[in-house]
Amino acid sequence: MKKYSNLENAPIEQAIIAVDVEPSKQLEHLAGIVESLKGLYPTNQKVNRKSVFVTDDNVTAQNFQEGYALNSDDKKKEVNINLSRIAFRDADKYIDFDNLISQYESIWNIYLQTGLPEKLSRIGLRYVNKFFMTPEDVESNLLIKPFINSGDDGMLLLGELFAQYAVRSDLYKANGNVFIVTSPQVDGKLQITFDIDVFDQSIPYVDFNSIKDTLNRLRGFKNKLFFENILDAVTRFKK
């Protein structure tokens, strides 16, 4: 597997690790996890989902709690935890991949205090990058190009341009999605959102060393998608 350069000025706006599990806990277990994490993530709120019930006589809707969202004091770090997913989002200044994994591991270890999940169903890694390019740079250096959205009547939708691609790598044994959004020009430049979401759904283990190995493999796939589709990335994102 090819190694890619570490960028001194990486355009990472946020990085996300999410692990999906087969539900094996109760909401009271999650409340204990929230309590254990409140030192790092003091702000929390319940996350609800709405269910709609239809009978012959009427339609009713009810809200059910499915988990919690926790935030650091500066709101730059967020943990979302429910009965089937443990996700960590870091929107603070990116340090490096080991730091991201270390933060997630501390959350995972607290989660494990309530017992092992029976099975993992998905490990995901997502990086949202934002940077500016001239239209000429987009044409010559961005291989995945956004296309123009059109409405149902065929009329052009003004504003953002959007592209989405599903991707698969046998080398990295992973799937993913790449989203490209360009905002309208300001001072002759376009803001590019280059959003890479890669994941593995063939997970036979629950120990964190194996999860870490999978995340490192997913990172390789993410880097391949980034560097091979932004041709001038190495020079563009130097300090």
Q: How far apart are CA 235 and CA 204, in angstroms?
A: 40
In a domain, 28, yes or no: yes
In a domain, 38, yes or no: yes
Q: State the total domains in the chain.
A: 1
Span 51-100, pLDDT tens digits: 666 666 776 667 777 889 999 999 999 999 988 899 999 999 898 999 99
Span 142-169, pLDDT tens digits: 887 665 444 444 333 345 678 888 999 9
Does the structure show a pLDDT above 70 at 25?
no
**Distance of alpha carbon 233 from the chain centroid:** 21
Rg (the chain; Cα; Å): 20
Domain of residue 196, residue span = 12-236
In a domain, 175, yes or no: yes
In a domain, 128, yes or no: yes
Q: What's the whole-model pTM score?
A: 0.86
- Residue 74, SS3 per DSSP: coil
In a domain, 101, yes or no: yes
In a domain, 66, yes or no: yes
Q: Could you count the other beta carbons within 10 Å of the beta carbon of residue 4?
A: 16
Q: Under a CB-based contact definition with an 8 Å cutoff, are residues 62 and 53 in contact?
A: yes
In a domain, 212, yes or no: yes
Residue carrying structure tokens 């059910």: 64
In a domain, 112, yes or no: yes
